[in-house]
């Protein structure tokens, strides 16, 4: 089969493109790029309330650095981590609302804060939207946006934008997300009904397309049949994890939980699994995973000070901050990095037909909404909602174009002014070099020494 004769054409040829799209992965004989190789993917992961700078930033030099306590939670993936330090929200200086809480956080992925008429909406699309428009032509979705417990408490605002002033919500209901991705193709507009009806009969959604899947198996060689089974088993596992409570939505609250028992852990892992399947199947090349919401008030039993997450972040405002508060904030950030590790582990376990794993062909940008400033007055107090040195990580090799396997990179020391410079550099790494700036016009410099 020609390398230019791709997955969608193959499905159309057997007359079942729509229904089977979620279940047929990218395979060797259905290569999607002109050279027969696997395309690179891109994912954005958001976690809330930032991290203390002195617990987040590694020590050392650009190519010889030691992970911080928080970043150690990434485990075996540290050898692919690029830490971008000195990333500021420069557009905050143009913010018409003088409050670190507001517009900067909600517009961080757009790097372009709203104007005085609409300060809480970005004036340009967010990064995953721009990346999806450039990489998603001909796919089922330009972007798959999923989240865990992103509404119902804290600051209930979106962080994704389709265009100027046009926010987009992530899907944070695991059952609805599964139906949207794996059942809606069978009945546009009624995926949930298809999924629930199959479940009521004790069936999997895979049972509904068994005949077509058998036809496809007959057209594939042994290697691609094996690849297809790996993907279908992945979908079955997701379906089992949803279980009989798949249709139930737990309203978020600030009750204290720990580890695997935390509802956020449960939902985040389900969403991560679905995102891996969507990327692996070639349904999309761009994903978004939002872990909780802006100013999240999730409660964690492992904290020392009996404060919800955002409460800890404000403790200094009343002069009550202690070293325990800083350690609690660092531990919570480490918890979120553990969820990022889960996503990376699942990608590493997903084999690609061309060899290697999904992790080898996926870059993950990890961002938060602000940082926690260091002691600046000798009192031991830290500054909450600090707009400087905001956490930004890239894990993997975007577009195969990063010069180094891992690094600690000082954006300001290399001519950048903020997050838009990093985002513009990522676009160029993926070959989208028609973009001359990202978001605000001040972000017009590519961090060229990052690229090979």
Of 359, 355, 327, residue with least CA distance to 340: 359
Give the model confidence (pLDDT) of 181-205 as tens digits. Answer: 987 766 655 556 666 676 667 778 8
Alpha helices in 218-358 (DSSP H): 222-242, 263-280, 309-314, 323-348
SS3 118: coil
Q: How far is the C-alpha of 296 from the C-alpha of 50, rounded, in Å?
A: 10
**Domains observed in the chain:** 1-31+176-248 (no CATH), 38-173+262-450 (3.40.720)
Find all residues with CB under 8 Å of 400, minimum gap 6, and list them: 40
Mean pLDDT across the chain, nearest whole number?
82
In this predicted structure, which of 247-261, 313-327, 377-391 has the lowest mean pLDDT? 247-261
| Burial status of residue 215 (CB atoms within 10 A of its CB: 0-12, 13-18, 19 or more) | middle
**Predicted confidence band of residue 83 (pLDDT cuts 50, 70, 90):** very high
Decide if pLDDT at 1 tops 50: no
How far, in Å, are 42, 286, 291, 337 from residue 367 at the CA level?
Answer: 14, 16, 11, 11
Reported pTM: 0.90
Q: How far is the C-alpha of 245 from the C-alpha of 230, rounded, in Å?
A: 25
Find all residues with CB under 8 Å of 51, minimum gap 6, and list them: 70, 329, 330, 333, 368, 371, 372, 391
Give the model confidence (pLDDT) of 39-81 as tens digits. Answer: 999 999 999 989 988 899 999 999 999 999 999 999 999 999 9
Contact 145, 173 (CB under 8 A): no
Q: What is the pLDDT of residue 208?
A: 81
Q: What is the pLDDT of residue 193?
A: 64
How far, in Å, are 42, 69, 73, 103 from residue 94 at the CA level?
Answer: 30, 34, 35, 10
Give the model confidence (pLDDT) of 219-245 as tens digits. Answer: 788 878 888 888 899 988 998 888 744
């Amino acid at each position: 089969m020609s390398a230019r004769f791709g997955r969608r054409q193959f499905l159309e040829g057997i007359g079942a493109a729509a229904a089977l799209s979620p279940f047929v992965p990218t395979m060797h004989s259905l290569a999607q790029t002109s050279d027969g190789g696997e395309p690179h993917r891109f994912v954005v992961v958001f976690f809330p309330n930032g991290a203390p700078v002195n617990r987040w930033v590694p020590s050392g030099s650009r190519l010889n650095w030691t992970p911080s306590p928080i970043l150690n939670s990434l485990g075996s993936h540290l050898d692919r981590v690029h830490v971008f330090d000195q990333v500021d929200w420069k557009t905050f200086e143009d913010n018409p609302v003088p409050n670190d809480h507001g517009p900067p956080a909600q517009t961080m992925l757009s790097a372009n804060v709203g104007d005085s008429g609409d300060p809480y909406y970005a004036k340009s699309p967010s990064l995953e939207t721009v990346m999806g428009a450039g990489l998603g032509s001909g796919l089922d979705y330009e972007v798959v946006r999923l989240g865990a417990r992103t509404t119902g408490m804290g600051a209930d605002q979106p962080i994704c934008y389709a265009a100027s002033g046009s926010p987009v919500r992530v899907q944070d209901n695991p059952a609805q997300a599964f139906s949207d991705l794996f059942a809606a193709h069978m009945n546009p507009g009624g995926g949930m009904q298809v999924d629930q009806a199959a479940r009521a009969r004790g069936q999997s959604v895979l049972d509904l397309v068994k005949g077509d899947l058998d036809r496809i198996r007959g057209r594939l060689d042994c290697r691609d049949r094996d690849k297809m089974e790996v993907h279908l088993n992945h979908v079955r596992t997701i379906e089992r994890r949803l279980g009989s409570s798949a249709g139930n939505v737990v309203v978020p609250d600030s009750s204290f939980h720990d580890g695997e028992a935390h509802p956020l852990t449960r939902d985040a892992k389900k969403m991560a699994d679905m995102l891996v399947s969507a990327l692996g199947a070639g349904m999309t090349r761009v994903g978004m995973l939002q872990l909780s919401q802006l100013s999240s008030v999730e409660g964690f039993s492992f904290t020392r000070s009996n404060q919800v997450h955002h409460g800890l972040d404000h403790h200094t405002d009343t002069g009550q901050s202690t070293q325990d508060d800083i350690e609690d904030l660092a531990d919570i950030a480490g918890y979120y990095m553990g969820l990022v590790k889960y996503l990376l582990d699942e990608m590493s376990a997903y084999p690609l037909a061309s060899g290697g794993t999904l992790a080898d062909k996926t870059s993950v940008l990890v961002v938060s909404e602000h940082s926690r400033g260091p002691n600046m007055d000798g009192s031991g107090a830290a500054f909450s909602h600090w707009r400087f040195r905001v956490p930004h990580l890239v894990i993997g090799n975007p577009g195969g174009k990063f010069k180094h396997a891992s690094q600690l990179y000082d954006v300001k020391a290399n001519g950048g002014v903020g997050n838009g410079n990093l985002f513009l550099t990522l676009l160029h790494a993926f070959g989208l070099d028609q973009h001359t700036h990202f978001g605000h016009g001040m972000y017009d410099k590519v961090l060229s020494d990052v690229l090979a």
